[in-house]
Every structure is written in structure tokens, then in C-alpha cells.
Structure 1
Amino acid sequence: MPTMAPQQYMNKINEWVDAELDTIQIRLIIAELSINEIVNISQFDPEVRGGEVGDIYFSIAFRTHKPLLIGYIDNSQSSYQGGLIDYGNRYFGDDTYSDGDKIKIVITATVYEEDSQNSTGLGYAYEGETYTVYSQWGEWVQIYYGVAGGWVHRGFITKA
């Protein structure tokens, strides 16, 4: 394997840092610590020190890579031909919810593992389905979903 100059290594790392989100994943292996993870670079700070000709020192921080989960609409079972849906003056999400309340999904929504869109998507709650509420935390409602539970943003639900 050909070796590169320190500046070339720095340029390559900067290329990875500047890449479009989720287009570059790096496998970080640290054998002594039993680390073998797919990561993205979250911070890279190179430094050139006086008296160290040609050497480049740097600090680098990684974050565990989480793939983006992008849903899709299956139009094969629908007569809907695309475009925006007019919900009129209806606004969803003003209600508060308690354990045991029944909710109805008004717009197909991703069900998340935690109360954040940054968490893992577990699947979808489809328009028209009803669920039982477990709890509410801010804008998020925890529902009985699958074998455990999941979180749905309250902008996608209404009381059943």
C-alpha cells in the first residue's frame, strides 16, 4: 500500500468530514479496546506545531453511524394519484393523553424507539389505525406497539 504524506492524510480526512451526510461511513477498529464500529467523523481539528517539520497533529471525534430511515408511500392499494392532501381547517395534536386513552392515526407516521426523531424507527402506524396510549412526554405519545411500545409525535394523532 503506498504511503501518503501527512498533508495528504489530512486532506483525505477533511474530504470525509465535508462529505454529504450518510454518504461516507468509516469502520473504526481499535483492537486493544475491542472496538469495531461503523462511525462518522463529527469533529476534526488538525494542528501544525513549530519545530515539527512535515508533521501534523490532530484531534478527531467520532459518532456511531445510524442510517437514515426513509419511509415510502405504497400507492398500489389506493386510488390516490399524488399531490397534497387537503385536511381543511383540521389541526391535529392539541389534545393531551393519559394511560389507557385510545388514539387514531390521522396521517401515516413513523413509530420511534424513543421520544425523538433521532432514535431508531420501529415501523409505521398507518392512517386510520387505533392504538392505546401508555404515556405522553411533551410532543410525543408512547403507544402499545409490537411486543413493547413505541413513540409517535402527537401531530399525527387524534383521540379516537
Structure 2
Amino acid sequence: AQAVGAKTMAEYMEFLPSMLTAQAARLSSQLGLTNRVQMNFNCVITNVPGPQFPLYFTGAKMVANYGTGPVMDGVALFHVIGSYNGNMSISATSCRDIMPDPEFYKQCIEESFEALKQAANASRASGNSKRKPRSRKTLPKAAPAPVEEQHSA
């Protein structure tokens, strides 16, 4: 399977309202469809970009946006990484049998994110923040076209 870009995913979501998606997941679980199909994964990570400007509903400003993944048989951990108005959120829905201590998992995510920020800031401070162009691997040249034999009759 190939990864789908955030922009493409956002465009898809215009056609799949979240209520419909949630009902489809619920129906799939109720019918036991996930038990009939062998899943090749048990963890989902999805990126849901949100608007980078404040939204209002009946005059009230939305202060944050959090996502949640559907609870489905066979999927032990579902991450939703979202953004809204310059902020990012990471939400996780999990099976208690697989993750008995979600608070510890939250702590691990926060510590990893802080370490990543520190590494990025250190790189920026040392002047290594400019991206270096990827070295292009030279592809092997194509084999010459086959020569057709001509037979005289």
C-alpha cells in the first residue's frame, strides 16, 4: 500500500462525512467483518490537517481540536495527529489489554516530542538546518533495443 498525502486525504474527507465513516466502522465491527478479513496491521497513524485560523460557532471561538479513531476489532492502537490554528494534537485510542497504562504512553510521546524539538533547535542553531539536496542515484542505462533479424525470401 502507498501512503496518501495530507492534502489528498483532506480532499477525500470532503466526500466522506465523519458520521458516515464512524457508522461504517461500527457496522463493520458489529458484523464481525474484521474477523473475516486478515488484517496486516494493528496500529493506525493518521494525519488530519485542520484550518490554521480560528473557527467560531454561534459566536463562540473554538479553542482546540482533538481527533479520535474508531474502536475496531483487530486494531489495538489508533493515533490521530491533528492541527488547528497553529497547534498540533496527538490523540490515541487503544485497547486496554494491549496498553494497560495509557498515561505512561502519553509521557513517552511527550518526552519523544521534546527530544525531537531539542534536536531540531540544536540543528538550527549550528547552521545545519539547510536541507542538503538528496544525492541522485544514477539509474542503470537501459539495455539496447533488440535487433530484429531480417530474412530474405
Greater percentage in strand: 1
Same fold by TM (over 0.5)? no
Greater percentage in helix: 2
Relative to the length of structure 2, the TM-score reads 0.19
Relative to the length of structure 1, the TM-score reads 0.18
